[in-house]
Structure 1
């Protein structure tokens, strides 16, 4: 987790000038492909810069443990591995005085076997923590991106990645019924006892199929149901999964409405895991 209260100081290094923007066609390597999980002795970081409608002129200088790593151009990404533990990370656009390397660097405890997706915020201030995004969201934005290859990393704590190919798993889908999962109590939509048992069974199966959980998506499909009710359902499911020891930062919510070709009532709550 990133926390604004963690601050460390560091030294100074030259970074790539803004003129590198003119060399963008030569700055990129291969197109992004989903990265495999790493072994538990390592942690992996994917830092990327989306091709959004709001772009700031100049490269985004990426710093790892107070050392310059690369300068991301729009549509670029970098991935690297570190030893688990406390590390400082940051990426700042238009930072001519290299203050991002010397001021307000944020320390994060990175866990072994985990992959973290960090998105460059075009409007990020030096006092802002790095913006972590859910794996599913990050990989969606990363699809058109290419690896940044034009700069030489000076981050000495970066180590070669060792991937745990055996734990790379396909997605599993669990279909549930909102009629079974939920009940009304004092005007609130809550998880029923039967619904709690169903979620517990899902988690047991999930852990058997996925020894390492990378992401869990709760998809709620509505036939014109009020948004407030959908939010209550999402909150109840997120709480139940968290209480069942699924890390909250791995859980994301999707809301979907349908008029035709709707799933049956027994399949209007879907849990996707990988």
Structure 2
């Protein structure tokens, strides 16, 4: 029994020592969260700091205590990073190993810097000096891919802020660019007509000239909208139908001239987009006055 009594303390000590590596490994695993991914710049009223630790071959198992303005933020383990934001202006940063004989503590942080709003600062832990090693994004991010976010301590640094990211610049919306070719309705058709058989000789010549222009000036046709317009004489629904019939006739002639049918569309504005309005007088006078409204517009998409 006496022998067993003397053996128990030694056994307990041996078990305690044997459990240390397992407990340390478990703690190390729990200390990390997601791997690093590139972050956008902060808002203009914040400065962002990404502080990481990669010891290389000289790995210390102790956490590097990171102080911000004299207050403990976290204990960075090898392979860990932390991200935080501060208000722009003067701040102090430093990291120290707790077992270092020359450990200066939070009252003597060695690195002072002036942070600018809207910028991200990348800092690598330098254990020898306690001073962070500033790096550019291009230098730091390839190394940061080997790290994971440190997550086992709550920060006690009162000056840190939740980072507010700037919204990524939206892609500029491409605004279509058009070139219009206006054909006089009176040149194309007899008054009030819309069929091929009602086209004038001058109208057919105008269509042929337009086809030649389209082939010459537009090697890659994307979209062509043929729009019929009428004058306000008559009922609106009748004018709308007449405008569409004229547009469809012009569309068919463009196809005959080698313009791909797949790029052609037709529409009618009827008498809703007048060039000339408020014509008065006899019907003949008004027909003559309203002539500029009677037209077919061939709108070519010339966007780059």
TM-score norm. by structure 2 comes to 0.45
Q: Greater helix percent: which structure?
A: 2
- TM-score (norm: length of structure 1): 0.50
Structure number with greater CO (CA < 8 Å, separation at least 6) is 1
